[in-house]
Amino acid sequence: MTRGALLVCGTHSDAGKSIVTAGLCRWLRRRGVCVAPFKSQNMALNSVVTAGGAEIGRAQAMQAAAAGAEPEAAMNPVLIKPSGERNSQVIVMGRPWCDVDARFYQAMKADLRPIVEDALADLRARYDVVICEGAGSPAEINLRAGDLANMGLARAADVPVLVVGDIDRGGVFASLLGTLALLEPADQALVAGYVINKFRGDESILAPGLEDLRARTGRPVLGVLPFLEDLWMDAEDSLALEARAPESPALADTLDVVVLRLRWMSNFTDLDALSAEPGVRVRFTRSAADVERADLVVIPGTKATVEDLARLRAAGLGDALRARAAAGAPILGVCGGFQMLGTAIEDGVESRAGRVEGLGLLPVSTVFQRDKLLRRRAGACAWLGGARTQTGYEIRHGAITLHGGEPLLRADDGEPDGCRDGWTLGTAWHGALEDDALRRALLRAVGAARGRTFVAGSDSFAALRERRLDALGDLVEQHLDTDAVLALLHTGAPADLPTIHAEVRAVAALRHDS
């Protein structure tokens, strides 16, 4: 296999780029190819910590798992984490770089470009193939001059491009044609074909449209991927919550887990492992009534702790949580959610709001530090019979101090984590519930407290995730023209691809010159 690369773009966000990228990585790995994923610029609030202590988008970590590769900073050299309506934290090569607004970020791209290009070149030197994922749409013409993730990357690295369109949303042919037509001729020269995603029904009905699209653009549709109900992977942001696996019907002993849907919710993938248990139903909500009735309420992580705490109070959820805690009903806060449960937050970093009163449900206080703590964690929970987790990781600016209660977890190095006061629990560790032993011990305890019997599933969460990644590989193998994909990896985009709508561009150029 030559050291090839391919860029998977989409007609819009959530068109299926991440899934196609992961599927290509798994399919190539099964062929014995040494493959790595790459996303130069990712805007996401779901992230993980690599073995080297770098923070990258969670979708890239799952694509690395599909590829059988260890996640690393080079796979996602720029990660943008929104921390409010106007500002974001920019993570470069796994470390916080600066906090900026959207306009200033555009001015930074000249400095980021060589970092992105070096990261991709490094991966291509060490792997047989790199499957790159674009961001948003390549036809965002207002951003083309500084583009780092779509056609700017493809041009700089001479990488062929596939464009994915989501037919489930409607208008897929117009979206694919329009995307190509808006590109500059040199960009069009790298777009080698299309993939249609989420098709339902008889594929033969599509045949006239596929042929017409090829005739109009000179490019083939390399595959039509069917709509599969339970096909999802670790998402990039809360927009993808609507497309997740449907809730199972609640049975008599089903544990009802309610997750507060925060505006700047981060790492809600912490709850995926709970959803995978057959005796658990997980729902995202902003309803105080749901908080009252649930068996377990989870306050997830957030990139804007103080702002989300204010929103939570304004919605009446603070009072609902206090009533729940007074009744001894289970509450779990994770990272930012844990910080909210404390007595006070001193924030001069994210919101710069200074001292803010917490919910006062746990005897802890938080002071935000300039430096971000990034590390993987493993340890045990004495309260749950010594149940262990090997899958935790920390991503936080908040330094948390206990003033009472007891630690919820203790790391293998002896450092305590979290706090427990009755049935109000908090932890700074993301990902801890992915470990079957700890998750099931917690759910058994919740069930006993609520008068229900929790019966654990038979499969491990790790095995379930592997099956989902295999399903993505099957999707590519069974529904894409894999010979055409291999040809693109070997030789790049064909040299004779036509430019469309050249006459429209000529008229526009004349008007601009006049």
Could you tell me the two tokens for 135? 């961001």
222 touches 204 (CB < 8 A): no
CA–CA dist 460, 447 (Å, integer)? 20
Burial class (CB in 10 A: 0-12, 13-18, 19+), 128: middle
CA-angle at 108, arms to 103 and 113, nearest 5°: 135
400 touches 364 (CB < 8 A): yes
Catalytic residue among 335, 381, 419, 479: 335
Q: Known catalytic residue: 335?
A: yes
| 209 phi, psi to nearest 5 deg | -70, -40
CA–CA dist 19, 27 (Å, integer)? 12
CA–CA dist 247, 237 (Å, integer)? 19
203 touches 224 (CB < 8 A): yes
CA–CA dist 303, 376 (Å, integer)? 19
Q: Detail the DSSP E strand segments found in 232-335.
A: 255-260, 265-266, 280-285, 296-299, 301-302, 331-334
167 touches 197 (CB < 8 A): yes
Which run of H or of E encompasses 340?
A: helix 336-341
Could you tell me the two tokens for 150? 């779509």
288 touches 317 (CB < 8 A): yes
Could you tell me the two tokens for 486? 């291999």
SS3 assignment, position 417:
strand
* CA contacts within 13 A on the Cβ side of 111: 9
366 touches 359 (CB < 8 A): no
DSSP H helices in 85-192: 102-126, 151-157, 172-181, 185-188
Q: Which of 153, 129, 131 is closest to 22 using CA atoms? A: 131
174 touches 217 (CB < 8 A): no
CA–CA dist 273, 464 (Å, integer)? 9
Could you tell me the two tokens for 248? 């199972």
Q: Known catalytic residue: 397?
A: no
Could you tell me the two tokens for 437? 């032993």
Which run of H or of E encompasses 391?
A: strand 387-402
The residues, ordered by sequence, that sit 6+ positions from 507 with a Cβ below 8 Å of its Cβ are none
Catalytic residue among 397, 430, 479, 501: 430
State the catalytic residues.
Answer: 335, 430
